[in-house]
Structure 1
Amino acid sequence: MIGERRGELRLILWAWGVVMWGLACYWLAEPQFSRQVLALYAIGYLLIGLLGHLLLIGNAPRADQVVFPLVYMLTGLGLMSVLRLRPELALRQFLWVFIGVAWMGIAAGYPHWHRLVYWKYSSAVVGLLLLLLTTLLGYEAGGARRWLALGGFRFEPVELVRVLLVIFLAGYLSQARKLLQGTKGKFLGLSLPEPRYVGPLVTMWILFMFVLVAQRDLGAAFLFYGIFQAMLLVATGNMAYLVVGACMAAVGAGLAYRLFSHVQVRFQAWWNPWVRLESGGYQIAQSLFSLGAGGIFGRGWGRGAAASTVPAVHTDFVFSSLAEELGLLGSGAVLFLYLFLVMRTVRAALLANDEFLQLLTIGIGSLFAIQAIVIIGGVIKMIPMTGITMPFISYGGSSLISSYLLVGAILGISHGG
Structure 2
Amino acid sequence: MSGLRPEENAPTRIAEAVLLVVALALGMGGMWMVGYALEDGLPEGFWTYSIVLAALAFTTHIVLRLRAPYADQVILPAVVLLNSVSMAMVLRLDLVDMRGANASRHLMWTALGVIVACVVIFLLRDHRSLRRLTYTAMVVGIVLVILPLIPGLGQEINGAQIWIFIGPFSLQPAEFAKIAFAVFFAGYLVANRDTLALAGKKFLGLQLPRLRDLGPILIVWAVSLAVLIGEKDLGTSLLFFGLFVGMLYLATDRVGWIVIGLTMFAGGAVAAWSIFSHVQARVDIWLNPLDAELYAREFGGSYQIVQGLFGMAYGGMFGAGWGEGYPDRVPFAFSDFVYASLGEELGLTGLLAILLIYLVIVQRGLRHAVGVRDGFGKLLAGGLAFVMALQLFVVVGGITRIIPLTGLTLPFMAQGGSSLLANWIVIALMLRISDAARRPSALPTRGALADPAPAMVGGDAIEVGGPGVGPVQAGTEAGAGRGATPDEATQIVRGVER
- Give the shorter-chain TM-score range: over 0.9
Q: Which residue of 2 aligns with 1:67?
A: 75
Is 1:362 aligned with 2:396?
A: no
Distance verdict in 2 for CA 1:254–1:33, change over 3 Å? farther
Match for 1:205 among 221, 225, 250? Answer: 221
2:352 corresponds to 1:349: no
For residue 34 of structure 1, report the CA deviation from its aligned partner. 5.2
Map of 2:38 onto structure 1: 30
Q: Secondary structure at the match of 1:148?
A: strand
1:112 to 126, 129, 147: 126
Contact 1:287 1:317 survives alignment (8 Å)? yes
Partner of 1:263: 279
Matched, 1:286 2:307: yes
1:334 to 354, 374, 387: 354
**Alpha-carbon distance in 2 for matches of 1:354, 1:196:** 26
Is the CA contact (8 Å cut-off) linking 1:27 and 1:33 kept in structure 2? yes
CA distance in 2, matches of 1:36, 1:257: 47
- The answer on 1:99 being equivalent to 2:117 is no
Corresponding residue SS for 1:273: coil
Name the structure 2 match of 1:386: 406
Separation (CA, whole Å) in 1 of partners of 2:322 and 2:223: 45
Equivalent residues of 1:123, 1:165 under 8 A apart: yes
Decide whether the 8 Å contact of 2:36 with 2:43 is kept in 1: no
Q: Partner residue of 2:157?
A: 141
Q: Does 1:310 align with 2:330?
A: yes
SS at match of 1:314: coil
The alignment covers a number of residue pairs equal to 416
Give the Å deviation of 1:212.
4.0
Aligned partner letter, 2:75: V
| Residue identity matched to 1:207 | V
Give the conservation status (yes or no) of the 8 Å contact 1:191–1:240: yes
Q: Which runs of 5+ in 2 are unaligned?
A: 1-5, 96-100, 438-498
- Cα distance in structure 2, aligned partners of 1:100 and 1:43: 17
Which residue identity is paired with 1:284?
I
State the Cα distance separating 1:33 from its structure 2 match: 6.0
TM-score (norm 1): 0.95
**209, 214, 234: which one pairs with 2:250?**
234
Give the whole-Å Cα distance in 2 for the aligned partners of 1:36 and 1:198. 55
Task: Measure, in 2, the Cα distance between the counterparts of 1:9 and 1:71.
Answer: 13
Say whether 1:125 aligns with 2:152: no
Following TM superposition, by how much is the alpha carbon of 1:293 offset from its aligned partner in structure 2, in angstroms? Answer: 1.2
Specify which structure has the bigger relative contact order, considering alpha-carbon pairs within 8 angstroms and separated by 6 or more residues.
Answer: 1
Q: Does structure 2 conserve the Cα–Cα contact (< 8 Å) formed by 1:135 and 1:211? A: no
Could you tell which deviates more after superposition, 154-163 or 199-208?
Answer: 199-208
- Give 1:46's aligned amino acid: A
SS in 2 for 1:222: helix
Q: CA deviation at 1:335?
A: 0.4
Deviations 1:133-168 (A, max 9, x none): 221230101211111111111111111111101011
Contact 1:79 1:90 in 2 (8 A): yes
Asked whether the 8 Å contact 2:30–2:322 carries over to 1, the reply is: yes
Contact 1:294–1:323 (CA<8 Å) still a contact in 2? Answer: yes
Q: Does the 8 Å CA contact 2:224/2:236 hold for their aligned counterparts?
A: no
Partner residue in 2 for 1:9: 17
Instruction: Tell me how far 1:86 sits from its aligned partner.
Output: 3.1
Deviation at 1:13, TM superposition (A): 0.2
1:83 is matched with: 91
Shift of 1:221: 0.3
Contact persistence 2:243–2:387 (CA under 8 A): yes
Amino acid at match of 1:145: Q
| 8 Å Cα contact 2:75-2:364 kept in structure 1 | yes
- Partner AA of 1:217 in structure 2: D
Structure 1 residue 183, shift from structure 2 partner: 5.1
Residue 78 of structure 1: how far off its partner (Å): 1.2
Q: Is 1:39 aligned to 2:47, yes or no?
A: yes
Give how far 1:32 is off. Answer: 4.3
The residue type equivalent to 1:337 in the other structure is I
Q: Report the Cα distance in structure 2 between the residues aligned to 1:391 and 1:320, rounded to whole angstroms.
A: 14
- Secondary structure class of the residue paired with 1:332: helix
Scaled by the length of structure 2, the TM-score of the pair is 0.80
SS in 2 for 1:274: coil
Q: Hey, what's the Cα distance between the residues in 2 that align with 1:229 and 1:339? A: 21
Deviation at 1:179, TM superposition (A): 1.4
- From the CA coordinates, give the structure whose radius of gyration is larger: 2
Distance 1:198 1:222, change over 3 A: same
What is the CA–CA distance in structure 1 between the aligned matches of 2:361 and 2:57, rounded to whole Å?
17
Q: Which amino acid aligns with 1:303?
A: E
Deviates more, 1:219-228 or 1:193-202: 193-202
In 2, the alpha carbon distance for the partners of 1:33 and 1:222 equals 44
1:413 positional shift: 1.5
Match of 2:421 among 362, 382, 401: 401
AA of the residue aligned to 1:81: M
CA distance in 1 between counterparts of 2:34 and 2:94 reads 14
Whether 1:373 aligns to 2:393 is yes
Q: CA 1:144 to 1:36, structure 2 compared with 1: closer, same or farther past 3 Å? A: closer
- For the residue of structure 2 that corresponds to 1:86, the secondary structure is helix
Contact kept, 8 Å, 2:161 with 2:233, in 1: the verdict is yes
Structure 2 residue aligned with 1:154: 170
Whether the aligned pair in 1 keeps the contact of 2:87 and 2:106 (CA below 8 Å) is: yes
Identify which range, 127-136 or 328-337, moves more after superposition.
127-136
User: How far, CA to CA, are the matches of 2:146 and 2:31 in structure 1?
Assistant: 43
Whole-angstrom distance in 2 between the partners of 1:60 and 1:184: 42
Give the distance between the partners of 1:217 and 1:36, measured in 2 at CA: 37
Unaligned runs of 5+ in 1: none
